[in-house]
Amino acid sequence: MGAGSNAPTIIKRKKVVAGGGHHGGAWKVAYADFVTAMMAFFMLMWLLNATTEQQRKGLADYFSPTIPVNRISGGGSGAFGGDNIFTEETLAQSGTGISQPSIGNEPLRSESETGADAAAAAQVAALREIEAVLLGQGGESMLSDQALRHIITRLTDEGLVIEIFDLPDVTLFVEDTVVPNPVIAEIAAIMARLFQTVRNGVAIEGHLSAKSVLKVDNPVWALSTGRADQMRLMLQSGGLDPMRIVRQTGAGDRDPAVRDATAPRNNRIEVILLRSDR
């Protein structure tokens, strides 16, 4: 027998890992998610810079619900409308009684209350329609793109507030005067035409930015009142019935729209189409 016949047999097994170690593909998925998130972020920043304040508000209104809903679905912050599956048993043991189903247990409402709700809903719908036509939300606006840059609107309990304001490069009035520039004359003419489609009252408020240097004879009160009066005259020239003007005020520099009281954005005229159901 040869000397090497009793030597142990050694078998080598080589483990092959396909794409092993750090060469796997998991990192590619994470990187793709990161790149997508960054692209979405830069697109958002670009949109914020490229759109006007009014266009951003239009986008926000597009995604807002048109049917009133509760902020907390089901009446509670948790599942089962804030209750749990043991609610009935707990109430019975505590002597409180069982909860009653809400369907069919609403208090009966009188015809006058129902009619008032319908009238309020009609008022809101009419104001929304005027807002949409003014801003061109359903198609092309009656105003030029340059004029639209100066307008934002909001619907409040008082009515439809149409805010017309200065931009750094274009002002509504000649500086420190009540002489209107063409942009506000265009806006006033269109508003007068739209307001003729309803019978609501109209209120006008004049606002100014604060001066960085205080003067002994501060003209902000007279100037804000004069600009509100000038808007009234332009609306009447456009065909608005003078009897529909129910309020005209000048707030001076006491109600800034932005934190910086000296910003041009505070130079504005607010025209409020009042709700007639109030």
pLDDT tens-place string over residues 179-206: 999 999 999 999 999 999 999 999 999 9
Contact 227, 206 (CB under 8 A): yes
pLDDT at 244: 96
Scanning the structure block, which residue is given the tokens 């490069």? 169
Confidence of residue 16 (pLDDT cuts 50, 70, 90): low
What average pLDDT does the segment 43-55 reach?
Answer: 78
What average pLDDT does the segment 80-99 reach?
Answer: 48
**Phi, psi (degrees; rounded to nearest 5) at 98:** -90, 155
What domains are defined for the chain? Answer: 115-274 (3.30.1330.60)
What span, in angstroms and rounded, lies between the C-alpha atoms of 165 and 266? 7
Please report, as a single letter, which amino acid is at residue 233: L
pLDDT at 74: 42
Q: Tell me the three state secondary structure of residue 270.
A: strand
Please report, as a single letter, which amino acid is at residue 250: G
pLDDT at 226: 97
245, HSE (Cβ side, Cα atoms, 13 Å): 19
Determine what percent of the chain falls in helix, strand and coil, rounding each to the nearest 5: 45, 10, 45
Q: Which pTM value belongs to this model?
A: 0.61
Q: From edge to edge, which strands make up the β-sheet containing 268-274? A: 151-155, 159-165, 268-274, 202-207, 245-250
